[in-house]
Amino acid sequence: MIIGVPKEIKNNENRVALTPAGAKELIKNGHEVFVQSTAGLGSGFSDNQYTEEGAQILPDIESTYAKAEMIIKVKEPIEKEYSLIKENQLVFTYFHFASYEPLTKAMIESKSVCLAYETVEKPDRSLPLLVPMSEVAGRMAIQEGAKYLEKPLQGRGILLGGVPGVRPAKVLVLGGGIVGTQAAKMAAGLGADVTIMDISLARLRYLADIMPANVNTYMSSEYNIRELLGSHDLIVGAVLIPGAKAPHLVTRDMLKLMKPGTVLVDVAVDQGGCIETCKPTTHENPTYIIDDILHYCVANMPGAVPYTSTLALTNATLPYAIELANKGWKKACGENNELKLGLNIINGDVVYKGVSEAFDLPYHAVENYV
């Protein structure tokens, strides 16, 4: 199969969908890989590193789309790319269709085959191509939180791990899923006094078993959250209710319970945020202050660490990309239900319920196509 890797053109997106190591694997499997010039640069991979593994470099985005039977990308295509996507071309990337109608309509019109990273699903209902970015964001939440707790950055001026003779900072993590677990682990590793909350008792039992001694588990409820807010220095929002807006666990009136200089990092901001006063910010302008409380609400946290994020993402996507290239999308999706669940639009037909419901579009059962 001919595989194309365009350079990401969304603002501030430095990740790339295939590393030189990934290109080598696809080529070993008998495929041709075409990479747009400088596509890997933002993640630290030069054109030469790709050609050394047998990939070929194309000068621009137009030639990359024109050449490829399968496009592997990171972000959803943006308007400039819509017209480059061809009938029958397989596009394997994050789409998040349900949140953007113009993209959905454009992909229907293109008659391409859209396989979305975010809906590839394992039998235990986990989302293997979302997990790596949650892992990055969870770990980063503590790194950013620790930084903004510094006085020159308008935080309380407290060192996360304390020092001998001085108590460490207190970190409260709301939600004990992927993001929350990674955040709690990082904070604990730095020596903070950590509390992690969830509504699932089974999850809290598991966390209590695997976390180090400086992590306490606590059932999530409004009462319990109110009780803890005043004594914590860094609060991380990591809640998710699949398919729904995040619930506001920390409301506007609760800010007055907190100490001035408390830092809030709402990782769930991409689903509306679990802290009422959070609104999406960018890496250029990541924070703002309300009532002396510092808010960090960057919606694409992994974008700040493209090297790590690219490797984390491609570790997860490559096995699927190889399967798609080796078998073609029809056979691959027919034989692998995880991939089949990734199919969102096929040759103009919407085959994913959530997308058809979001925009009142006709739904076609995916079984009719694979």
Ligand X SMILES: NC(=O)c1ccc[n+]([C@@H]2O[C@H](COP(=O)([O-])OP(=O)(O)OC[C@H]3O[C@@H](n4cnc5c(N)ncnc54)[C@H](O)[C@@H]3O)[C@@H](O)[C@H]2O)c1
List residues with catalytic annotation: 96, 270
265 sits near ligand X (criterion: CB under 6 A): no
- Does 270 sit near ligand X (CB under 6 A)? yes
Of the residues 14, 89, 119, 134, which one makes contact with ligand X according to CB under 6 A? 134
d(CA 291, CA 155): 13
Q: Least CB distance from residue 30 to ligand X, whole Å?
A: 35
Smaller CB distance to ligand X: residue 54 or 272?
A: 272
Q: Are strands 113-116 and 193-198 parallel, antiparallel or unpaired?
A: unpaired
Contacts of 201 by beta carbon, 8 Å cutoff, 6+ apart: 219
Alpha-carbon distance values, 354 to 78, 104, 121, 136 (Å): 21, 12, 14, 26
State the Cα–Cα distance between residues 177 and 197, nearest whole angstrom: 10
Total of chain residues touching ligand X, rule CB under 6 A: 32
Nearest-approach distance from CB 302 to ligand X, in angstroms: 6
Q: Which residues of 48-82 are buried (b: 16+ CB within 10 A; e: fewer)?
A: ebbeebebeebeebebbbebbbbbbbbbbbeeebe
**Separation of alpha carbons 281 and 116, rounded Å:** 25
The whole-angstrom separation of Cα 181 and Cα 313 is: 19
287 counts as binding ligand X under rule CB under 6 A: no
Our finding on whether 286 is near ligand X (CB under 6 A) is no
200 touching ligand X, by CB under 6 A? yes
Stretch that binds ligand X, among 28-36, 86-94, 199-207, 343-351 (CB under 6 A): 199-207
- Position 14 contacts ligand X (CB under 6 A): no
Of residues 91, 171, 238, 343, which one binds ligand X by CB under 6 A?
A: 238
Interaction pattern, residues 296-335, with ligand X; x per rule: CB under 6 A: ---xxxx---------------------------------
Can residue 281 be called a binding residue for ligand X (CB under 6 A)? no
Contact between 81 and ligand X (CB under 6 A)?
no
204 touches ligand X by CB under 6 A:
no
159 binding ligand X? (CB under 6 A): no
Using the contact rule CB under 6 A, the part of the chain among 9-17, 50-58, 65-73, 132-140 near ligand X is 132-140
Q: Which of 114, 115, 234, 269 binds ligand X (CB under 6 A)?
A: 269
Q: In what order do the strands lie in the sheet containing 32-36?
A: 56-58, 32-36, 2-5, 70-72, 90-93, 113-116, 343-346, 349-350
Q: Is the Cβ of residue 197 or residue 345 nearer to ligand X in the bound state?
A: 197
Binding residues (CB under 6 A) for ligand X: these are 133-134, 137, 174-180, 197-200, 203, 220, 238-241, 246-247, 249, 267-271, 299-302
